[in-house]
Amino acid sequence: MKFVDEYRNIDAVKKFAEEIKSVVTKEWIIMEICGGQTHSIMKYRLQDFLPEEITLVHGPGCPVCVTPVDIIDKAHHIAKQKDVILASFGDMLRVPGSHTDLLKVKAEGGDVRVVYSPLDAVNIAEKNPNKKVVFFAVGFETTAPANAMSVVEAERRNITNFSILSSHVLVPPAINAILYSPENKIDGFLAAGHVCTVMGYEEYIPLAEKYKTPIVVTGFEPTDILKGILSCVKQLEKGEAFVENEYKRSVRKEGNIPAKQVMFDVFEITDKTWRGIGEIPKSGFRIKEKYKKFDAERLFNLESVSKEELKVCIAGEIMQGLKKPFECPAFEKECSPENPMGSPMVSSEGACSAYYRYRK
């Protein structure tokens, strides 16, 4: 607790930390779902503020980490083609596939462009009518609406050389899979505030009831996270289990309705493989039939390439809260952000990279 004593100006954080300490009597394991929260927890060393009864484990909420290898391989395959521009969020460029990564494909002559927004990819397609522009659309519920919007926009603007390579995952089925597992050790969850900004939090209510596990919608700043942990611990100590919203400045119960409408106009729910974890029923999106002309998987002849995962990488166990990054034999040795052997070492939201950067 040395930080609290040394830095008395961080009053709010200190207040929450003290309150957590005063209510806790038993040991509890709490999982933050979102990689953005994992990043904040490591960056601000929030574990140091918590009493030793509380263990934080890190969930699967990093889209870069869970995008399956065969989709990554498909992106590489598309990007290598002569008449194609592949547009991608920057953090997908270094994710290793079976053989290469997008940065290498680019260095070898592939036209790979980093975009900040899916709409930028649509604009690239409009400006390059002689090229096929494929947007590598990955993400959780936070990103899916904006990705869906790119398809709706391409249709509205009659842009025919645009498509998306889609890989979308959903949080509630992942929580269900973690809680259903006989190995589960998680007592409570911090739900991802930005996912809930889009989706609201009604879907979490049956999960909290079924598994008698508190789920607290939580933001990303240090005070937000401690506030979320405090609410979770209070419920656990009282033997309660319900959904609580501790990110009220952004999250409404019903979420953002127009964003959800666009998302469900373009996508429908399907079974989905998560890298390192495996298939989770009804945990992803696929493009609806009516938008099939924008579906890169149907437009390009993509045979599933070999998808060998490196045996040493324990990303799956880490993302289910069963192990911590430093328990991986490759951590900080063969595997580093400069030379990532698994996806959680690539993105700043990946647990391995967050541990590498901030755990001293």
Residue numbers of the site for ligand SF4 (CB under 6 A)? 312-315, 318, 325, 328, 330-331, 335, 341-342, 344-345, 352
Question: In the complex, what is the shortest distance from the CB of residue 192 to ligand SF4, in angstroms, rounded to a whole number?
Answer: 21
Distance CA 30, CA 73 (A): 34
75's contact among ligand SF4, another protein, none, with CB below 5 to 8 A by partner kind, is none
* Terminal CA-CA length for the chain: 16
Which of 345, 300, 15, 252 has the alpha carbon at shortest distance from 134? 300
295's contact among another protein, ligand SF4, none, with CB below 5 to 8 A by partner kind, is none
Residues 43-72 that bind another protein (CB under 8 A): 43-45, 61-64
Whether the Cβ atoms of residue 284 and residue 271 lie closer than 8 Å to each other: yes
Residue 101 within binding range of another protein, rule CB under 8 A: no
| 342 token code pair | 């698994």
Query: What are the C-alpha distances in Å from 28 to residues 187, 210, 221, 351, 356?
Result: 6, 19, 22, 20, 25
Question: Bridge partners of 216?
Answer: 190, 244
CB-nearer residue toward another protein: 172 or 219? 219
Residues 205-264 that bind another protein (CB under 8 A): 219-224, 248-252, 256, 258-259, 262
Q: Which of 18, 19, 53, 120 touches another protein (CB under 8 A)? A: 120
Whether the Cβ atoms of residue 357 and residue 337 lie closer than 8 Å to each other: yes
Question: In the complex, what is the shortest distance from the CB of residue 78 to ligand SF4, in angstroms, rounded to a whole number?
Answer: 25
Question: In the complex, what is the shortest distance from the CB of residue 183 to another protein, in angstroms, rounded to a whole number?
Answer: 26
Stretch that binds another protein, among 76-84, 95-103, 150-158, 314-322 (CB under 8 A): 150-158
Question: In the complex, what is the shortest distance from the CB of residue 160 to another protein, in angstroms, rounded to a whole number?
Answer: 17
Residue 3 within binding range of another protein, rule CB under 8 A: yes
Distance CA 57, CA 96 (A): 24
Q: Phi, psi (5° rounding) for residue 175?
A: -60, -45
Q: Which of 17, 24, 36, 275 touches another protein (CB under 8 A)? A: 36
Beta carbons within 8 Å of 49's beta carbon, 6+ residues apart: 1, 3, 4, 13, 14, 17, 226
12's contact among ligand SF4, another protein, none, with CB below 5 to 8 A by partner kind, is another protein
Question: In the complex, what is the shortest distance from the CB of residue 263 to another protein, in angstroms, rounded to a whole number?
Answer: 10
Question: In the complex, what is the shortest distance from the CB of residue 17 to another protein, in angstroms, rounded to a whole number?
Answer: 13
**Burial 329-355, CB ≥16 within 10 A → b, else e:** ebbeeebeeeebbbbbbbbbbbbbbbb
Residue 180 within binding range of another protein, rule CB under 8 A: no
CB-nearer residue toward ligand SF4: 133 or 319? 319
CB atoms within 10 A of CB 4: 14
Question: In the complex, what is the shortest distance from the CB of residue 331 to ligand SF4, in angstroms, rounded to a whole number?
Answer: 4
Question: In the complex, what is the shortest distance from the CB of residue 255 to another protein, in angstroms, rounded to a whole number?
Answer: 9
Q: Phi, psi (5° rounding) for residue 39?
A: -60, -50
Q: Which of 42, 105, 149, 170 touches another protein (CB under 8 A)? A: 149
Q: Which residue is nearest to ligand SF4 (CB)?
A: 342
Q: Which of 143, 161, 176, 235 touches another protein (CB under 8 A)? A: 143
| 336 token code pair | 């580093």
Question: In the complex, what is the shortest distance from the CB of residue 9 to ligand SF4, in angstroms, rounded to a whole number?
Answer: 35
Radius of gyration of the chain (CA): 21
Distance CA 134, CA 111 (A): 11
Whether the Cβ atoms of residue 233 and residue 22 lie closer than 8 Å to each other: no
Q: Which residues bind another protein (CB under 8 A)?
A: 3, 6-7, 9-10, 12-13, 34-36, 43-45, 61-64, 89-92, 116-120, 138-140, 142-143, 145-146, 149, 153, 156-157, 192, 194, 197-198, 219-224, 248-252, 256, 258-259, 262, 347, 349
